[in-house]
Structure 1
Amino acid sequence: MAKLPQQKDFYLCKKISAMQEPFDIEIGPINYSVFPEGNDSYTIFKEGKEYIQIQKDTSSIWLKMDYKTELPIFEEDEEVNAIGQAIENYVPEPEDEEEDGL
């Protein structure tokens, strides 16, 4: 007889499956890769190199995170806000059904 997963295990599986996959955005001529970390936090790669970590503060304000302390830096940054706006506007492409059959 198969053992049913404990509720904690089920919650963990559900939480992992709900996490968003990395995706790319473009702002002007610059390509950014976005890696969701959870809790409205993202690691951003710029032109293929790790660049910054950002976190959503309010509906229109995004904060850059300090790498050493992992605390938010409370100063307005136009590039960080533009990246955050692009993240909010990102619509995932539908998965190709052919990939599922392979």
Structure 2
Amino acid sequence: MQEPFDIAIGATNYAVFPEGNDTYVIFKEGKEYLHIQKDTDLQWIKLDMATGTPLFETDEETNQIGGAILAYVPQEEEEDNDFFEVD
């Protein structure tokens, strides 16, 4: 499973926690903020925080967050290039 990561939209920072099955928990300002699920590349569905059921209302912020999730490219961990010589 993908590791959590941060995204920024304008001046707002979000922490994204992948849950699997194209579902994500979003934190804003250190607090749990949204649960979202990918519908299409351009359309994301907000999920009810208590029940997890889809809320089929168009939400531009949710779609922007989803677009940023799709655009996110994980940084590759730096490889340890130290070589040890053995005599």
What's the TM-score, normalizing by structure 1? Answer: 0.75
Amino acid at match of 2:8: E
* Corresponding position of 1:74: 56
Pairing 1:56-71 to 2, within 5 Å after superposition: 56-71=38-53
Q: Distance in 2 between matches of 1:30 and 1:97?
A: 31
**CA-to-aligned-CA distance 1:6-65 (integer Å, 9 cap, x gap):** xxxxxxxxxxxxx10000000000000000000000000001111010000122100110
On the 8 A contact 2:6/2:13 being kept in 1, the answer is: yes
Amino acid at match of 2:23: S
* Corresponding position of 1:46: 28
Q: Distance in 2 between matches of 1:43 and 1:69?
A: 14
Q: Structure 1: which 4+ aligned runs deviate by more than 4 Å?
A: none
Q: Distance in 2 between matches of 1:27 and 1:59?
A: 17
Matched, 1:27 2:9: yes
Identity over aligned residues, as a percent? 65
On the 8 A contact 2:41/2:67 being kept in 1, the answer is: no
Give the C-alpha shift of residue 73 in structure 1: 0.3
Instruction: Give ranges in structure 2 of 5+ residues lacking alignment.
Output: 81-87
Give the C-alpha shift of residue 72 in structure 1: 0.7
* Corresponding position of 1:93: 75
Q: Which has the higher contact order (CA 8 A, sep 6+)?
A: 2
- Look up the SS of the partner of 2:42 in the other structure: coil
Instruction: Give ranges in structure 1 of 5+ residues lacking alignment.
Output: 1-18
CA RMSD for the aligned pairs?
Answer: 0.8
Per residue, is there more strand in 1 or in 2? 2
- Look up the SS of the partner of 1:97 in the other structure: coil
